[in-house]
Amino acid sequence: MSRAFSRREFLARGAASAFAASLLPALLTASSPPVSMMVYKDPSCGCCKKWIALMQSAGFEVSARDTPDIQSIKRRYNVPAALSSCHTALVGGYVIEGHVPADLINKLLKDKPKIVGLAAPGMPVGSPGMEMGGQKDAYDVVSFDAAGKSAIYARR
């Protein structure tokens, strides 16, 4: 047999339910902690600083390390010479070479392909950090593996 609620119980339960319901949107939209990224760059490179700022605004927690010998970093992390650019980043177990857009890094981290990383070879005009007015050259973002094989990951 069901028991009837008193007016006081009914109001208390209603208030508790309303409070819990008010917290639900915040819980559902709570963001995950930022993903850490380490960027190795030449101390005098301005475009690297711009790319880092863009990664920070995209939600990455970026640490930068200036190094006068960036080539040794590229060798250590198996970046093919043909894909080389001005900075090398490490994020989520992957290597990011050059001006790769944040949305493609997020896709990489979500999909988790079996590759070493992504590269935007050279310094394509119009890529993140390489904006020059309205000019935007088409460029490829390339994936690469430990054997040095590469493939087009995305076209921009």
- Decide: helix, strand or coil at residue 155: strand
Asked if 48 contacts 42 with a C-beta cutoff of 8 angstroms, the reply is yes
pLDDT tens digits for range 85-131: 999 999 999 999 999 999 999 999 999 999 999 999 989 999 999 99
- Decide: helix, strand or coil at residue 148: coil
Mean pLDDT of the chain, nearest integer: 87
Task: Tell me the torsion sign for CA atoms 125, 114, 145, 149.
Answer: negative
Residue 71 has pLDDT above 70, yes or no: yes
Residue 57 has pLDDT above 50, yes or no: yes
pTM (predicted TM-score)? 0.78
Closest-CA residue to 32 (of 61, 57, 54, 52): 61
Look at the chain and count its residues: 156
pLDDT of residue 8: 61
